[in-house]
């Protein structure tokens, strides 16, 4: 494959990556807002659960004598509501996994291309951009970072949701976790702003 063909194929692969993730950027931001509402509600339920457990530990006499199964019934009710919220959140974060899978496959294809034909590309080709095309080195860095951020964010959130009733998981921890997405959205914002003309060139 000639240098021109290698460059062309590499640019096509990069376009495919960015076209999909950028086209879904607005949807991802909306899903984040929906997630945030559910996370706040879920954190509130976890706080209620902790309070109910604490009452049981304190062993207030009136609750044991007059309502011997009250704590158990409250915990069952709260746990059922927690399960509903968790299932909804798992559905809402699935697009992160879908995007990660897409970026990961594209990254693998790009790595294979570079391993096979990387010698045909020189530093000038990789580092020189244009008014409408960011340098390939920069775009490859975005692909690496997108793959990492999407993977870590999705699986970290999934882990928290699956361990939601573990005693060491505090309600505030869940809220903090959901706010750890700034790096991903900064990268997506950069990609959207700097690849607009690059993607338009592909028609």
CA-based radius of gyration for the chain? 24
Task: Please give the average per-residue pLDDT across 27-41, as a whole number.
Answer: 93
Taking residues 177-197, report their average pLDDT: 87
> What is the per-residue pLDDT across 160-176, written as a single tens digit (0 to 9) for each?
899 888 877 778 878 88
In sequence order, what are the residues at sequence separation of 6 or more whose Cβ sits closer than 8 angstroms to the Cβ of residue 38? 85, 88, 89, 92
Comparing 37-41, 42-46, 142-146, 194-198, the range with the smallest average pLDDT is 194-198
pTM attached to this predicted model: 0.85
Other CB atoms within 10 Å distance of the CB of residue 38: 16
In this predicted structure, the answer to whether residue 202 has a pLDDT above a threshold of 70 is no
For the chain, what's the residue count? 203
The per-residue pLDDT for range 91-139, each reduced to its tens digit, is 999 999 999 999 999 999 999 998 988 787 777 767 887 888 889 899 9
């Amino acid at each position: 494959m000639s240098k021109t063909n290698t460059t062309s194929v590499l640019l096509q692969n990069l376009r495919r990556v960015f076209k999909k993730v950028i086209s879904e950027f607005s949807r991802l931001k909306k899903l984040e807002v929906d997630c945030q509402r559910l996370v706040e509600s879920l954190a509130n339920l976890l706080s209620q659960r902790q309070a109910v457990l604490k009452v049981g530990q304190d062993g207030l006499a009136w609750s044991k004598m007059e309502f011997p199964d009250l704590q158990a019934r409250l915990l069952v009710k709260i746990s059922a509501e927690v399960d509903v919220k968790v299932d909804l959140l798992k559905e809402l974060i699935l697009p992160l996994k879908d995007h990660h899978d897409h970026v990961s496959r594209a990254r693998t294809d790009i790595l294979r291309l570079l391993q096979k034909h990387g010698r045909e590309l020189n530093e000038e080709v990789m580092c020189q951009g244009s008014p409408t095309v960011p340098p390939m080195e920069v775009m490859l860095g975005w692909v690496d970072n997108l793959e990492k951020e999407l993977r870590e964010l999705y699986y970290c959130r999934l882990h928290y949701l699956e361990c939601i009733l573990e005693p060491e998981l505090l309600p505030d921890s869940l809220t903090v976790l959901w706010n750890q997405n700034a790096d991903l959205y900064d990268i997506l914002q950069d990609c959207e702003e700097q690849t607009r003309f690059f993607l338009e060139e592909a028609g």
